[in-house]
Chain A
Amino acid sequence: KVAAGERSVGTVHRGKLRGNIREAWEHREIERLTAARDPSMFDDFDVGDQIVVRHVDVDSPGRYLTFGGVCIAKYGGNKLMRSFRLRNHVDGVGVEVHFLYYAPHIKGIQLLKKKTRATKRAKWYFLRDKPPKEYTVTWKEKELKLPRPAK
């Protein structure tokens, strides 16, 4: 039995969900999705860091795509819908992509460079008003240690 003060918290104990069932279910989903991916391919990152994400091309299976940029925001904390937003300047256009952290089609996240600005902000939306060179991220394919599709 769950103690009265802890009923709003969901926990998973040996396969059994206790307390807040929906929250416990999401915890179990997070564990399942994390166990299904290679932990060495996923770096920790924070807002302001330059990151590259390798994910499956949904239109052509068997092909991986890469998107990189400055992480301007992180959402969701420790929840199942944990996500982050990357901003980059690609082909003369500013592009933002919102990734769901636990999505099964994400195969790797690599940290290129930690943040250099002294700004202490949880969200870096101010970059949208800055000139492109402040948020342009480039990288060489050889430097990346992300997974490559099997031939």
Chain B
Amino acid sequence: RWLQSRWGSKAMAARGMQRHVINCVTKNGKTRGGIQRTLRSPLVAVKMGMTSAWDDNGAMHPVTLLQVQQCQVVQVKTEESDGYFAMQIGAGNKHPSRMTKAQLCHYQKHNALPKKRLFEFRVTEDALLPPGTELSARHFVPGQYVDVTGISMGKGFQGVMKRWGFGGQPASHGHSLSHRSGGSLGGLTHCGRVFPGKKMAGHMGSRQVTVLGLMIFHVDPLNNIIAVRGAVPGHINNYLRIRDSIRLAHHQHNMRLGLPVPTAEEVPEEEREEKMALQTVPTSFLKNPFTYKEE
């Protein structure tokens, strides 16, 4: 009777959040059956906009451009010092004159440049990097699946029809003053109250949203841009967290591709031209929508 989800607490349920992903890689890198998998560090990127991309089959795909801007490992947390393995990653260089001495010392201590935003990510021990390491778009491989997390676009105070998808009431036939309202709030005899989490009008958007299972279409190492197939939450110039997909099927697909653990190596001068060229997803990963099945 509570708006209670099977997996979450009442507080989470009250906000209408449910966790649907069952077959996934957990925060510790474990999957069903207790198998330990490698959790690489996610990256922080900025949403640049959306365009279209054509593949070799001739089909068109919507892609979102994400630019990895000055992503650097700032602090590394280990089992001995903090009790868990994690990396603190900074994104976007910031002028030292705009930072407090305490903040500057934090960056100096870990050999990193002052950053605009800091994010902490849980990783497994084999994916740890030394502090000060620069992360680039080569961390990801075209054809792999990623999850993108960001703050969704704010919609302000919205009514129940837009916010929760309610049906409203008919426009005519005598219905007075309540065409878009929520209708009844519940019963009287059995409960006599309104349940916590009852869907009502209120602030919509500007919440953290994760989109699972997006395929990486292009990786542009020279400009540190990742083109991801589909849409991601938030507005342009929004900070996004890109991580390897936690869905088990996608994780297995990524393993078969061979992702660079802990991150891609630096490219020497001789191989620079070929390694820094634009990489596209192999055609074998894309379904040809034009083939006609004879019945």
> Could you tell me which A residues sit within 8 Å of B by CB distance?
15-17, 21-22, 25-26, 29, 33, 56, 58-59, 80-81, 100, 103-105
Contact = CB atoms under 8 A, between A and B. Distances in A.
A87 B225 CA distance: 40
Contacts of B54: 33, 103-104
Most buried by B among A21, A22, A25, A104: A25
Nearest to B273: A15
Given A22-B48, A25-B225, A80-B51, A103 B58 contact: yes
B223 interface: yes
Contacts of A16: 222-223
B2 interface: no
Contacts of A100: 60
Contacts of B49: 21-22
A104 B227 CA distance: 19
Contacts of A17: 220, 223, 225
Contacts of B220: 17
B7 interface: no
B65 A21 contact: yes
Contacts of B65: 21-22, 25
Contacts, number: 43
B52 interface: yes
B292 interface: yes
Contact of A56 (B53, B58, B67, B227): B58
> For the side of the interface on B, what is the size category?
10 to 19
Nearest to B222: A15
Contacts of A56: 58
A67 B173 CA distance: 52
B51 A29 contact: yes
B95 to A, nearest CB: 14
Chain A binding surface SS class: mixed
Q: Which 4 pairs from chain A and chain B are nearest by CB?
A: A22-B49, A58-B290, A105-B58, A21-B48
5 contacts: A21-B223, A25-B227, A59-B292, A100-B60, A104-B58
A26 B290 contact: no
Contacts of A25: 48, 51, 65, 225, 227
A103 to B, nearest CB: 7
A25 B290 CA distance: 27
A15 B220 CA distance: 10
Contact of A80 (B52, B58, B227): B52
Interface string B213-232: 00000001011010100000
Nearest to A81: B52
Interface string B87-108: 0000000000000000000000
Given A16-B223, A22-B65, A58-B58, 9 more contacts: A15-B223, A21-B65, A21-B67, A21-B223, A25-B48, A25-B65, A26-B51, A33-B54, A103-B54
Interface in B272-288: 276
Contacts of B227: 25
A56 B220 CA distance: 29
A26 B220 CA distance: 13
Nearest to B276: A15
